[in-house]
Amino acid sequence: MINKVAVIGAGVMGAGIAAQISNAGIPVLLLDIVAKGETNRNKIAESAKKRLLKTQPPPLMHPKNAKRISTGNIEDDLPKLADVDWVIEAVIENLDIKQSLYRQLAQVCSANAVISSNTSTLPLKLLVKDLPVEFKQRFIITHFFNPPRYMRLLEIVVGAQMRPELLDSVKTFAEQKLGKGCVFCKDTPGFIANRIGMFWIQCALLEAIERGLSVEEADAVMGAPLGIPKTGVFGLLDLVGLDLMPYALKGMKLALSPEDSLNQISQTPDLMLKMIADGYTGRKGKGGFYRLRHEKGQRIKESINLATGEYSVSHRPELDSVLAAKTDGVKGLLTHEDKTGEFAWNVLSRTLIYAAELIPEIADDIVAVDTAMKLGYNWRYGPFELLDQIGVQWFVEEINEEERAVPPLLKNFQTLYKVTAGKLHFSSLSGDYLPVTRAPGVMLLADIKRNAQPLLENRSASLWDIGDGIACLEFHSKMNTLDMDSIAMVNLSIETVEKQFAGLVIHNDADNFSAGANLGLLVNAIHHQQWQDVVDMINNGQQAYKALKFAPFPVVAAPGGLALGGGCEILLHCDAIQAHAELYAGLVEVGVGLIPGWGGCKEFLLRCFKQPHRFGGPLPPIAKAFQTIGMASVSSSAFDAKALLLLSPDDDISMNKDYLLADAKAKVLTLSRDYTPPEPAELHLPGKTAAIALKLAAKSLLMVGKATEYDVLIGAKLAHVISGGDTDMTEPLTEDDLYALELESFLELVKQPQTLARLEHMLATGKPLRN
């Protein structure tokens, strides 16, 4: 069991690794060298710790986690490693320096402490050369991806002499506590993800220049249509730093054989060399392939011309090949007859061939490769999953027609994955299909869906039996936005679960739990002045969420990613929440000129009143609710959601999303024992006296330019609701009274022209409008 960790090397990676360990609730010691001429011998490590509190996106899931990080230096503090269970070396990529450190660690670490390197370039066999057998028995490579909090991949390289029980302890800790997806790699240059990723980037870079594409065209093609982040290739290079690519390619050229396909395209274009020399190294420099120019208070995005090296205003291209991908999938993109379609085919076909050629050199099977690319580069589909989408047989025929060599792996299979007896199988080098295995404790809704039919289903949601008397309600619209089909499924699920099950989990496998209500439906109703439809929309949502709250069985929400607006409101109505650590939740309706209408104001106000150790009287919880809802506060993690009161003290957090559903199921099973629904709440609220104080606070923001006139109007309507309307402290308000106040104020705001403008701007840009 790992209870304490040390990280040696307080650079960007080392500090980031330490931060994620602290996020897991584990104390960590961060060491670095003693800086020359410094009287503070811990200056480097201490400075790294301070930077963690300022870095964006934040490496720490909550600022208080920094308290778990102790700092020191290698010269004075190595004896402190005597009680550490895992030491992670993240020092400079110099073999002599690393081996010198390892010899010191062998003297101070306990016999059962694991020692690992975060190297991305040096092979394990060189790292442990001439070191004692006892050291080799507890040494592995653990290659984290940057930033360690957000990138889930952990590549592990294991030597033949490694003690299995120590390896298992690191793997279990990394998966369950750090939220990592562990992938075992062969001891080869670049391991898996960077070997393939670098080839893909370099291939796309050179092809785009050769074919005369703009950076926007290349990124539009190499992004969303392939399930790759919208940064594409050039945006990704800007993100990681242009200067890293030549350095990495040089290392690969030395490590790989001259015949390797990556070495055939390892040249750095003259344009890129000039950009690096001029300081255009990406986001960390003056800019890169994209840059931001400031003019008259405006930020203007520009891109570089790959032929001339000149910058001009960046424009989003409208490409027929991308439209073809929307209608005909990846194959539609690859077969589109223009320069962008040809670019897509050349880059992707070469990348997929390269990936297939590298089995079994870099990994034992295709699952490891697909997992590495999904977790390390955020691809939605791995290379072999993409091949199945395209069609393996069609792909092989096209390669043969172009007289290119077909990798042996692709010659024997029609599909690389298939479902047999409800279980996912993958093609192996032996010519057979083998089952895809999951780690103990992992439960994926996708696996359940392969082996069953939904109990209930419509266009926006489904209900599934996940075993042991527990059902799962899944939203599956675009971004899991909530419409009337979603609300109808909530009601139908309650009826079904009451008759057949012991409890309900609300969960989906998507990146985001729910981005909130479907704003398009609301905009359409406003345009046609269908106010009764708006009333029905709010009433239906309120009644469904109310039924969920008072259902005769426990309901546990298991969210991850975005849970905004109506998606956050459904969380607040559940008995409990089992959240993924990366939860970005908030009641954000004021950003579109509205207030929460499905009970969010009421439920959050109740949480503020229940907050332990709060100041007495009704005003502090009302002020807290006004601030959080009025500022559209969104949590930066599940831990931050607890601080914001969007999660309760009794709600739990899963670091690894693959374990989230199983954890939520266990939680609802526990709650189902002798379950009693909550009693409806009553509140005594001060009414107009509190509302006046809140309105004055909103007007003060207007006076200093931090709010608009319309923001003040929204604030007044929010204040009216959470202060209790026209009540006073002598009159108890029921939950139904508060639902009614929400509906009243929502309707008044929805008829304002500024609200329509904000809604339409959000739908068009995904960003709030200040008007």
Residue carrying the six token digits 């223009």: 338
End-to-end CA distance of the chain: 55
The pLDDT value recorded for residue 596 is 98
Measured CA to CA, the distance from residue 518 to residue 479 in angstroms comes to 9
User: In the 8-state DSSP scheme, what is residue 68?
Assistant: G
Measured CA to CA, the distance from residue 417 to residue 433 in angstroms comes to 8
Q: Which two tokens stand for residue 674?
A: 């002798």
Q: Is 3 helix (H, G, I), strand (E, B) or coil?
A: coil
Residue carrying the six token digits 């009274």: 737
Above pLDDT 70, what percent of the chain? 100
Measured CA to CA, the distance from residue 218 to residue 344 in angstroms comes to 8
The pLDDT value recorded for residue 771 is 67
Q: Is 296 helix (H, G, I), strand (E, B) or coil?
A: coil
Measured CA to CA, the distance from residue 18 to residue 149 in angstroms comes to 10
What would the DSSP string read from start to end of 571-618? Answer: HHTSSEEEEESSEEEE--GGGGT----SSHHHHHHHHHHH-TTPPSSS
Question: Per DSSP, which regions of 122-218 are E strands?
Answer: 139-144, 153-158, 181-184
Residue carrying the six token digits 């360690």: 148
Whether residue 698 contacts residue 716, with contact meaning beta carbons closer than 8 Å, is answered with: yes
Which residues are CB-neighbours of 182 under 8 A, at least 6 positions away?
154, 156, 171, 174, 175
What value, to the nearest 5°, has the Cα angle with vertex 541 and ends 540 and 546? Answer: 100
Q: Radius of gyration of the chain from Cα atoms?
A: 28
CB-CB neighbours of 95 under 10 Å: 14
The pLDDT value recorded for residue 611 is 87
The pLDDT value recorded for residue 153 is 98
- What residue type is 617 in one-letter code? G
Pick from 251, 268, 269: which is nearest to 260 by CA? 251
Cis check for the bond before 225: say yes or no (omega within 30 of 0). Answer: no
Q: Which two tokens stand for residue 743?
A: 């509906």
Measured CA to CA, the distance from residue 629 to residue 605 in angstroms comes to 10
Measured CA to CA, the distance from residue 203 to residue 749 in angstroms comes to 52
Measured CA to CA, the distance from residue 412 to residue 429 in angstroms comes to 9
Cis check for the bond before 57: say yes or no (omega within 30 of 0). Answer: yes
Pick from 72, 136, 130, 80: which is nearest to 110 by CA? 80
**The sheet that has 417-420: what strands, in order across it?**
417-420, 423-427, 433-435
- What residue type is 560 in one-letter code? G
Distances (CA, A) of 316 to 217, 303, 710, 764: 8, 11, 32, 14
Show the low-confidence residues of the chain (pLDDT under 50). Answer: none
What would the DSSP string read from start to end of 4-42? Answer: -EEEE--SHHHHHHHHHHHHTT--EEEEEPPPTT-SSTT
Pick from 430, 367, 353: which is nearest to 192 by CA? 367
Whether residue 18 contacts residue 28, with contact meaning beta carbons closer than 8 Å, is answered with: yes
Q: Which two tokens stand for residue 266?
A: 């390892």
Measured CA to CA, the distance from residue 97 to residue 122 in angstroms comes to 12
The pLDDT value recorded for residue 714 is 96
Whether residue 128 contacts residue 159, with contact meaning beta carbons closer than 8 Å, is answered with: yes
Q: Is 335 left (phi over 0), alpha (psi -120 to 50) or beta?
A: alpha
The continuous run of DSSP H or E covering 472 comes out as strand 470-475
Strand partners, 504: 471, 555
Q: Which two tokens stand for residue 552?
A: 């005769």
Measured CA to CA, the distance from residue 669 to residue 663 in angstroms comes to 10
Length of the chain (residues): 771
Whether residue 605 contacts residue 596, with contact meaning beta carbons closer than 8 Å, is answered with: no
Pick from 32, 34, 25, 35: which is nearest to 49 by CA? 32
Question: CA 24: distance to chain centroid?
Answer: 16
Cis check for the bond before 147: say yes or no (omega within 30 of 0). Answer: yes
Output the pTM of the full model.
0.95
Q: Is 562 helix (H, G, I), strand (E, B) or coil?
A: strand
- What residue type is 65 in one-letter code? N
Pick from 759, 754, 739, 745: which is nearest to 525 by CA? 759
